[in-house]
Amino acid sequence: MSDYSYAELGMLFGISIGGGIGITAFSITGDALFFALTGIGVTFGFGIGAVLDKRQKKNRDNEMKK
């Protein structure tokens, strides 16, 4: 897991969750607009992953200063 950043993993999970919800909603309603949920999932996943990456880098920098 150390090969992947949290931002990459967040985007992956965002695509999976958003795509799953979008496909389910599309199959129920027939409205293709629900496929946009995949993009929303990517956005949220990337945002959360970027925050976690930043926090991890900050902690690593603080440990190196000690």
Q: What's residue 9's pLDDT?
A: 94
pTM > 0.85 = no
C-alpha closest to that of 8 among 16, 22, 20: 16
Interaxial angle between packed helices 36-65 and 6-29, expressed in degrees from 0 to 180 and rounded to the nearest 10: 160
> Which residue carries 């990459």 as its tokens?
8
**Residue 59: partners with Cβ closer than 8 Å, 6 or more residues away:** none
**Confidence band for 1, pLDDT divided at 50, 70 and 90:** low
pLDDT tens profile 19-65: 999 999 999 999 999 999 999 999 999 999 999 999 999 888 888 87
Which tokens go with 26?
A: 């599309």
